[in-house]
Amino acid sequence: MIWTRAFFASATLELAHLKSNRAFVALTALAAVSFLVMVRLFGLTGSRAPMALINDDRGTYSQGLIDALLAAHHSFALKNMSEEDAAKALGAGRLVGIIKIPAGFSKNVERGKTIPIDVQIDNVNVDLTNDVQRALPAAILAFGHRYNFPGARVQVAEHDVLSHDTNYIPYLVVSALALDAMVIAGILGALATAREFERKTIKLLRLSPASTGAVLAGKLIVAAAVAGTALAITVLAIVLIYGVVPVAPWMALLTLGGCVAIFTCFGAWLGVQLQRTLAAVPLLFGLVMPLYVDSGALEPTRFDGEWIWRIAHLSPIYYAVGVLEWAYHGIRVTPEPVYVDLLALAAMALVSVALTLGRLRKRGAQ
């Protein structure tokens, strides 16, 4: 049988299968969007701890201190509250803390006195507590320098490696694209191969004179195309909702296409290994989050320590995030050059295809 005929027949059949499983495909795409939304939620709590502000002083200096607190590296979301409301909100876990500027603050500062401000902290979460404990002296330092108080002898001179800061949510949503690609393409790839075992058609496949490679290619090209379409919706959402546009659009497109190809192949391999969609889907869900976090999704992986960074090299998401962050924001999150990340992605795709083909032939022979 001609290779191309087998390829097209297999692709047509796969498309028909996916059409009859529209709800499943739609839910897979929904899962990808869900991850994007959830990653955003996580990003929202990364900064600006909600703190009550009780200001019993109406002078210039208290306003200066409030300005310094607001400018302290995105640390506080200050809420003016009465003492009673603040205590209630703190007790109910709705605030990280309360800052109280005492009456006479401005007058005393004017006279050169040092005034303690009372800060109550709900230290239930050590991460948020640390942020507040570090941000308060940073704000006080800025306050002192703003008014040129005598006696302050040292300042920080910051030299940033990059010309601008990348906000946390735009950073996170770009890395989430790699996660989405893995979820959608992986599940559809797994569905394409596991179905042959679930319906016992693997034996027919093996007995037919058609090339296994052509049949597999036909199935996977359709799975990848559907996954690519679903991913395009997520990409559009990122552009329209978050306003994140790639600085290198062609590279972004190429990488996302590459991710879809790799993860479809990876999913297909998983489907052949497990032979059941019901086993492959949760495994992919279970794998995807740890792989995502250990891939430079939240910050460059090497900052998390050498062993975590070394393990990350086993994950395709590490390389995908490396290229995507470069393509979208022009930043490097892997020490390896971008072309090395691209080559690693291509190599992983080839290995996945080879493994799936080998496994299909071997299993089919049984």
User: Site residues for another protein, window 216-275 (CB under 8 A)?
Assistant: none
Report the amino acid identity of residue 345: L
The nearer residue to another protein, 288 or 345, going by C-beta atoms, is: 288
Q: Of the ranges 38-46, 213-221, 242-250, 337-345, which one interacts with another protein (CB under 8 A)?
A: 38-46
User: Site residues for another protein, window 145-164 (CB under 8 A)?
Assistant: 149-162, 164
Q: How far is the CB of 145 from another protein (least distance, A)?
A: 8
Q: Give how far the C-alpha of residue 264 lies from the chain's centroid of Cα atoms, to the nearest Å.
A: 20
The nearer residue to another protein, 160 or 366, going by C-beta atoms, is: 160
The nearer residue to another protein, 217 or 344, going by C-beta atoms, is: 344
337 touches another protein by CB under 8 A: no
Q: Of the ranges 12-20, 36-44, 217-225, 231-239, which one interacts with another protein (CB under 8 A)?
A: 36-44
63 touches another protein by CB under 8 A: no
Long-range CB contacts for residues 240-249, cutoff 8 Å, separation at least 24: 242/40, 242/169, 242/170, 242/173, 243/170, 244/170, 244/173, 244/174, 244/328, 245/328, 246/327, 246/328, 247/327, 247/328, 247/329, 247/330, 248/326, 248/327, 248/328, 248/330, 249/327
Among 6, 265, 320, 333, binds another protein (CB under 8 A): 333
Q: Coil, helix or strand for 215?
A: helix
The nearer residue to another protein, 6 or 192, going by C-beta atoms, is: 192
Measured over the CA atoms of residue 180, residue 188, residue 284 and residue 323, the dihedral's sign is negative
Distances (CA, A) of 191 to 181, 241, 270: 15, 31, 9
358 touches another protein by CB under 8 A: no
Among 1, 2, 16, 44, binds another protein (CB under 8 A): 44
Residue of 225, 167, 179, 247 whose CA lies nearest to 36: 179
- The interface mask with another protein, positions 288-317, x = CB under 8 A, is xxx-xxx---xxx-xxxx-xx---------
179 touches another protein by CB under 8 A: no
Q: How far is the CB of 291 from another protein (least distance, A)?
A: 9
- With tokens 């507040």, the residue in question is 132
The nearer residue to another protein, 71 or 346, going by C-beta atoms, is: 71
Residues sharing a CB contact under 8 Å with residue 191, sequence separation 6 or more, in sequence order: 21, 24, 223, 267, 271, 277, 280
Q: Is-contact 338 322, C-beta < 8 A? A: yes
278 touches another protein by CB under 8 A: yes
